[in-house]
Amino acid sequence: MIKKNDFLKMKKTIQECLNERILIIDGAMGTMIQQYKLEEKDYRGERFKDWHKDVKGNNDLLSITQPQIIQAIHKAYLEAGADIIETNTFSSTSIAQADYEMQSLAYELNVAAAQCARKAIDEFLSSPLSEGEGTGVRRKFIAGAIGPLNKTLSLSPDVNNPGFRTVTFDEVANAYYEQIRGLVDGGVDLLLVETIFDTLNAKAAIYAIKKYFRDTKKEELPIMISGTITDASGRTLSGQTLEAFYISVSHANPLSVGLNCALGAREMRPHIEELSDIANCYTSAYPNAGLPNAFGEYDEQPEETAHILEDWAKEGFVNIVGGCCGTTPEHIKHIAEKVKKFEARKLPVMEKELESVGAED
């Protein structure tokens, strides 16, 4: 069982942990869910057995109907060495849930997913230390996953009407606000705005986060921001360069900015190097397990992904690493093993800090 001094170690803040070492974020949720080969009835459960629309594929619903599966996936990543686990809430907004006509469940989905993650951590920490852990239990963090939505504010879905939008900024912000309320009520430690292909959507999420904490007067949780580069051009789907993307979200004073999804680690490397040069916050990277094959599957083995991320750690590019589509606990285990021998990226000393030091001298 956990000793008292181990509980004291768990009280470290995320910032303190990041200053000590490279942290590990978990891998893909969808990839793991697919391994269960669930059918329509499994997604529905007893509560939604008579739902009027098909719900198979609504992975976020499983936090309510099959919580034991979601908890088992979280535990597998924790056992593999993950320091940060993401909630199963990539599509848990009223806008995304409209595909299944489950908009009314948005708040509940986020609370349930956060609770699944918390139960997984509690179970993991209450079990005897596994052989070889040596230094004892490290603190584990829950990142409330806030996905990019299935609607975009920057691009028109109608090629004949470039000014047309299917959603407004206020509608997007309100949907994110509801999601954030559920995540916070469920007990997350961080908020992760991820897989950003449209920075205006991300700005709506950031606005909602800031508004929620102003309205509630609660202490603001650290914000992680992760964009996605769609091709070798180094731009997001809405056309921004990496530097422009970073500048566009830096006003949020994020804990970290990084990249995930879309590209495999080999293709992502130059962009991670660029980000490490321009970011004055911590940097994160969790790539796919290579590029998908002709069948949409990922073939890159855990050793391959880990070897590439080991190079990033060696070069001092990263503070947080993990995996996205196609990655499994085995990928995370190899990544954690490879990067643990390297120091985390040092935050750059900014001009204002240098000026204040000069003034003191």
* Residues in a beta bridge with 190: 143
Give the model confidence (pLDDT) of 137-182 as tens digits.
579 999 999 999 999 998 888 888 988 899 999 999 999 999 999 9
Taking residues 188-207, report their average pLDDT: 97
Question: In the 8-state DSSP scheme, what is residue 307?
Answer: H
Q: Is the pLDDT score of 131 beyond 50?
A: no
Least confident segment among 7-21, 101-115, 257-271: 7-21
pLDDT of residue 2: 46
Tell me the pLDDT of the chain averaged across its residues: 91
- Going across the sheet that includes 190-196, the strands are 23-24, 320-321, 282-288, 256-264, 223-227, 190-196, 141-146, 84-86
8 Å CB contact between 211 and 173: yes
pLDDT of residue 230: 82
CATH code assigned at 91: 3.20.20.330
Distance CA 144, CA 90 (A): 9
pLDDT of residue 360: 52
Q: What percent of the chain has pLDDT above 90? A: 80
Reported pTM? 0.91
Q: Which amino acid would we find at residue 44?
A: R
pLDDT of residue 116: 98
pLDDT of residue 158: 84
Instruction: Give the chain's domain count.
Output: 1
Give the model confidence (pLDDT) of 291-341 as tens digits.
889 888 899 999 999 999 999 999 999 999 999 999 999 999 999 999 999
Q: Which amino acid would we find at residue 36?
A: Y
Distance CA 331, CA 309 (A): 11
pLDDT of residue 357: 42
Give the model confidence (pLDDT) of 76-88 as tens digits.
999 999 999 999 9
Q: Is the pLDDT score of 274 beyond 50?
A: yes
Look up residue 309 and give its two tokens.
Answer: 């991320």
Rg (CA), the chain: 20
Closest CA to 29 of 85, 111, 68: 85
Distance CA 283, CA 221 (A): 17
Domain span at 127: 4-360
Count CB neighbours of 150 within 10 A: 14
